[in-house]
Structure 1
Amino acid sequence: MEAQVTRNCFCTYTGAQSQVDTTVFFISGNPGLIGYYHPFLSLLAQHLAGPKQGSTQKASTSFQIYGCSLGGFEVADNGDERGSSASNGSRAKDTADGKNRFYDLEEQICFVQDTLNQVMSKTASSAPLGKKQKVILIGHSVGTYMAMEILRRHREATTQSTSSPDFDITGAVMLFPTVMDIQASPSGQKLTTLLSMIPQLALVVSIFARVLTLILPDAILKSVIRLVMKNPPPHALDTTFTFLKSPGGVRQALHMAADEMRTITTDKWSDDVWGVASTRDPVAKLFFYFGRNDHWVAEKTRDDIIALKGRQDGLGPKMLVCEEGLPHAFCLKHNEIMATKVAGMIREIESS
């Protein structure tokens, strides 16, 4: 796969493409535009390409860093507001009668899993013969729920010889994870209330956004975005502008968010997926990085996950709680510190 950085895709390498050992596969939050994460992924690649902390030797592992926009969030790379079909999917799914519909959470998981399989198929074709590729997942926000589901489905597939994947998922990094009880979070409570009052919230807000983008000149619209987002960096401003101007992005985001409120409830994964039980099959090494006062993760939910699933006797995920006050949307202004932390986690997964 060629290295590329577009509005719909990010792909780069820390060494020779033919020598890739591990693919770091990134799954975004909602709204699922990869443009929000370009600086983070670029910085992460730089850290992984450099020497390990406390060492002068260059990293021996060659990484592929890959991420793409979620289904329904693809936009035209030339900035045209009409949108476009990305290489991995279309703006909205087509029904039998030709009308567009939008991705729910389950469909997004299938979309991401299909993309991962496609990426790894291309990667394997250029790798040395007999060398099984490794994958480390990174999920952010609802992307962590998708990552857990992909871990589960991958483990199930490896037990079926007829459909066994040709790569191993060796670890995952969950950033500001919304894996349980999202309704209990401050923002989840607000969104649930709005949805009960306005069942067609996604349609109503998308119409309002569409009218707003048609009425306001681009320069004024960007000024409004800059004011509401409190002077965001250029990549966040441009991505939000493109998101609002896209034909179905706003409705896709709210359609998916509503399904998240219904779906992300109790713990749905067995102990072998969490890695808290002894098993003969290798388990992925997991890192969970929680924020404090995260408006999408209730404090009680975070504490319960740490208490129930935190590492004990060397088993289970490594749970970390942010002490630097990083926000849930770290990808706006805190990419350097997050990239440094994640690079350390990836190296620890690689060394285990």
Structure 2
Amino acid sequence: MSISPLLTDPAVERADKICYEDSTRSSLDTQDYLIYFITGNPGLILYYQPFLSKLHSLLAQYSSTDSARFHICGHSLKGFGFQNDKYVELPKEPLSLTEQIKYQEDLLYSHIRSHRERTGNTPKVILMGHSVGAYILLELIKNHPKRIEEGEPDFDLIGGILLFPTITHIAQSPMGMIASRVLKIPYLPVIMGAIAKCFSSLLPASLFHNLVRMITKFPEYAAQPTTSFIKSPMGVRQALHLAKDEMETITENKWESEVWGAATAEGTNNRDTINSNLTMYWGQKDKWVADHTRDVLIDAKGRTSHSSQTEPWKPVMIKDEEGMPHDFCTTLRNSHKVAEKVKDWVDEIIRAHKKVIS
């Protein structure tokens, strides 16, 4: 197994992109799968490197799915580029949640086109998102039919995995109630962005980095991008601007049956449309998700396991029982544990898709 980029770029891991690709050659009976990952806020893909690397290793070596090649890609959200990173084109102003959705959507279809050009094959796609990345994921599923009608390359979007999803009423969560008040302060993103750049520039780089590590208690792989993020031209401002937009935008459930799976239920006329098997992994006590809004959504839209035969088109909604934190990606142990869970869910999605089309 080796790692190579999915897009025509010499870098595999950099400030704004991570891509893993199986080196095994495809044959007539080999199916390519692209797992496209969308980060939370702050939108730094390097936080997820151990998680994505472990997941790719597990899928490549131990997947129970026959004749499959797995490709994993993820990008930082726009505006979170590092200082002095020549690959990252920074916007002049911070992007809204709607603009971040469009940005990730364009990247996804660019990956599909690139994959087709390189291999002659069209991958089946599983979307995966963390926190607000799960909200972006559902928007990509909703928009998929329209993008195909507009001329984008058609492909099978076979499922989605939502990790600690902030998809409804984020302002009612414990942290959301605090953030929604604080973020109403006029010009707060601009002010805090300027303070962060000023403070970080006053200290020697090594001292500032050590201070970040001491305060956050992050391991080096997470502390380094945090340091660069704080020192970056736009990072802090973009994170706060996006957070404010999240508080105002992520409220009522806004998706119809096409996203929740009911459009592909037995007895409907749409069994041959998008088959978006969804798996949602909810925190036990998630500081960014209110327990009551989570439980209402689970009762209304979910089922509890992949083996459940009651309304099998419904999303599987799993409550964590291990005390896994919302920011699982900032520790190596938790990153690997979640990767092990996700590997099994990927297998379940592929099996369910094969059952539907057989």
TM-score > 0.5, shorter chain as reference: yes
SS for the counterpart of 2:160 is strand
Deviation at 1:208, TM superposition (A): 1.2
Q: Does 1:215 align with 2:202?
A: yes
CA distance in 1, matches of 2:106, 2:146: 16
Deviation at 1:20, TM superposition (A): 6.0
Deviation at 1:155, TM superposition (A): 2.8
Spell out, residue by residue over 1:271-302, the C-alpha distance to the aligned partner (whole angstroms, 9 max, x if none): 12111342322421000000011111000111
Deviation at 1:83, TM superposition (A): 4.2
Q: Does 1:303 align with 2:292?
A: no
Deviation at 1:111, TM superposition (A): 0.3
Which range moves more in the overlay, 323-332 or 119-128?
Answer: 119-128
Which range moves more in the overlay, 104-113 or 165-174?
Answer: 165-174
Name the structure 2 match of 1:38: 49
**What is the percentage of aligned positions where both structures have the same residue?**
38
- After superposition, the CA RMSD in angstroms is 1.8
CA distance in 1, matches of 2:23, 2:277: 24
Name the structure 2 match of 1:343: 343
Counterpart of 1:118 (choices 101, 110, 114) is 110
Q: Does 1:61 align with 2:68?
A: yes
CA distance in 1, matches of 2:262, 2:78: 32
Deviation at 1:85, TM superposition (A): 4.3
Spell out, residue by residue over 1:5-42, the C-alpha distance to the aligned partner (whole angstroms, 9 max, x if none): 22221111134365661100000001111110111110
CA distance in 2, matches of 1:330, 1:275: 28
Return the letter of the residue paired with 1:10. Answer: I
Structure 1 residues 20 and 125 mapped into 2: Cα distance closer, same or farther (>3 Å)? farther
Counterpart of 1:136 (choices 126, 136, 141) is 126
CA distance in 2, matches of 1:202, 1:28: 20
SS for the counterpart of 1:167 is coil
CA distance in 2, matches of 1:269, 1:307: 16
Preserved contact between residue 292 and residue 322 of structure 1 (Cα < 8 Å): yes
CA distance in 2, matches of 1:22, 1:178: 26
Structure 1: runs of 5+ lacking an equivalent = 76-80, 93-99
Q: Does 1:248 align with 2:198?
A: no
Name the structure 2 match of 1:95: none
Preserved contact between residue 102 and residue 252 of structure 1 (Cα < 8 Å): yes
TM-score normalized by structure 2? 0.87
CA distance in 1, matches of 2:40, 2:125: 19
Counterpart of 1:5 (choices 7, 13, 20) is 13
CA distance in 2, matches of 1:261, 1:139: 18
What is the aligned residue count?
A: 327
Return the letter of the residue paired with 1:91. Answer: L
Deviation at 1:82, TM superposition (A): 3.6
Preserved contact between residue 34 and residue 72 of structure 2 (Cα < 8 Å): yes
Preserved contact between residue 156 and residue 274 of structure 2 (Cα < 8 Å): no
Preserved contact between residue 276 and residue 309 of structure 1 (Cα < 8 Å): no
Name the structure 2 match of 1:150: 140
Spell out, residue by residue over 1:75-133, the C-alpha distance to the aligned partner (whole angstroms, 9 max, x if none): 2xxxxx344443xxx211xxxxxxx21110000000000000111100011224xx432
Structure 2: runs of 5+ lacking an equivalent = 7-11, 304-309, 353-358
Name the structure 1 match of 2:176: 188
Preserved contact between residue 137 and residue 171 of structure 1 (Cα < 8 Å): yes
Within 5 A, what are the aligned runs for 1:323-338?
323-333=321-331, 334-338=334-338
Q: Does 1:276 align with 2:262?
A: yes
Return the letter of the residue paired with 1:66. Answer: C
Return the letter of the residue paired with 1:269. Answer: W
Return the letter of the residue paired with 2:188. Answer: L
SS for the counterpart of 1:331 is helix
Preserved contact between residue 133 and residue 166 of structure 1 (Cα < 8 Å): no
Structure 1 residues 17 and 11 mapped into 2: Cα distance closer, same or farther (>3 Å)? farther
